[in-house]
Each structure stands twice: as structure tokens, then as C-alpha cells.
Amino acid sequence: MTRPLTLTRPAPVRLQAPRRPRLTRGPELAAAVAAQLALLALLRPGHAGLAVGVGYALASWALLSAAFRRRRALGPADHVTLARVVLTGGVAALVAGHLTGDARVWPLVAAASAALVLDGVDGRVARRTGTVSRLGARFDMETDAVLVLVLSVEVARSAGPWVLAIGAMRYAFGAAAWAVPWLRADLRPSIARKAVAVVQGVALIVAASGLVPHSGGLVAAALALLVWSFGRDVAWLAKRRYARRRGALVTPEAHDAQVARAQEAQGTRGRGTDGARRARLLDPVAR
């Protein structure tokens, strides 16, 4: 005798909707504001510096909340850049305190140096984690610009108001781009541009420290390099616009391909600078 076979109905499978990632952008930016306030308490930049630091923290929170409104969380490289934002806020507070005689030099130099060193970290982190983005690159660039502007204000106290041209040039170029649309086109990668950007930060920090005599000459040389770099980029953009109007525009991608073919024919592939896909020595200023 065999037992009758009984069929059991399988239990219904309940499909669960995928969990949406937690919204962490807000807490991350709030933590940056808290870190900024803690840094101000540590630095004690005086009443003027404290006012500038608190205003900087609130303005940064508002701007970054708007810039990252479409992201649920910041990437790993953005966290590094956010730390640089906090350090730059500390530098701004110390410079404001210096203007009223309430701040010391060495905390300013230390904070600015740390921000400059971290400038070489966020780009590498972005590439290694596969989180490179135009927004991240813009975030990095604008943080660099604010740091250079603040340092130029500090150095202008001793070297003269002409130093302010270093910090203002990036914003003058941005203002010109509003009036002249062809200045908004993407620039091709350039190791020279990165090197000049590094020189600005180093020269301003050295001049702010007061350790090197006649540092005004160093800052003047840095300004001359910056003028050359901006002039070179404007000339390239003008040439690109002229080629577009003639219908003979060579795009940056096509230019890189031409450079690669020429290097391969000459046995020098991979040694070019403008078409470099990986940052080597001068990694610290863009990603």
C-alpha cells in the first residue's frame, strides 16, 4: 500500500519594495557647521573673527544645501572637501581677527596648510572610489578659490592691496563669463594650470607666515604666473570660439585623441600633460 501523495501549496511570496537610501545630506552638513563652531571655539579669533566664522558657517550650510539638493548623501571625496571648507572657515575667522589685532599667525598658517594638503586628497579619493563628478570638481574648485581669496586678504595687510588681485581673479573671470558666454566653455585639462594654482596657495601661506624675507617678490611672481595662466586659457577659449564660427572646431576629445596618436607615433605615449587622464605629481587642485 502506498500513501496518497498530498500536494501543498507554497506560501505566497511577498515582494517588498526596495528600501530607499537614508537621507544623510542634512546631518552631514549640520555636522560640518558644528565642527566649524568647535574650531572657532578652539582658535578663539576674537569678536570680529567669531562673527565672520559664524557667518561663514551659516552661509556655507545654505549654499551647500542648495548645491547638493538633488543628492541624498555626499560622496567620500566630498567629505574631504567639506573638511577643507571647515578649515577655510577657520582661516577666514583668523584673518578677520588679525584685522582687529585679536589673532595669532601660527594657527592661521597651520589651518591654511592643512587645507592645502587635503586639496591633494579629495581628487585621489574620488578617482579610487569611482565617485568623480562635475559637482564634486566644482565643489573642490570653489573651496580653493575661497581659501586663496582669504589668504590674499591676509597678505595684503603687509604687502599691499595689489595682492588682492590673486584672490579676486577667479571671481573676475566668473563675472566676465556672465557677460561673455564663450568664456563658459569647458577648458581642456592642463598640468600647468594645476601647478599655478598650487603655487598661489604655497606663496600666500609662506608670505603670511612672515618667515621668509622679501616674500613680496614671491607673491608678485605667483601673481604673474596666475595672469599668464588666465590669459592662456582665455586665448584658448577665444581660438576655440573662432574655430567654431568657421565650422572647423576641434573638440577637446578630438584634440586629446590627436595628441595620443602623435605620441604613439613618436614613442612617447603617456607623457603628455594636457591629455592626462591620471593626476601624477600635481594632483592637488582638481578632480
28 in Cβ contact with 73 (< 8 Å): yes
pTM of the model: 0.75
pLDDT in tens, the chain (287 residues): 455 545 555 555 555 544 544 547 778 888 888 999 999 999 888 888 899 999 999 999 999 888 888 877 788 888 889 999 999 999 999 999 988 877 678 999 999 999 999 888 888 888 888 888 888 888 888 999 999 999 999 999 888 899 999 999 999 998 998 888 888 888 888 888 888 999 999 999 999 988 888 888 899 999 999 999 999 999 999 988 888 777 655 555 555 555 455 445 444 333 233 333 333 333 333 33
Phi, psi of 65 (to 5 degrees): -60, -40
DSSP letter, residue 133: -
74 in Cβ contact with 28 (< 8 Å): yes
Cβ atoms within 10 Å, residue 145:
18
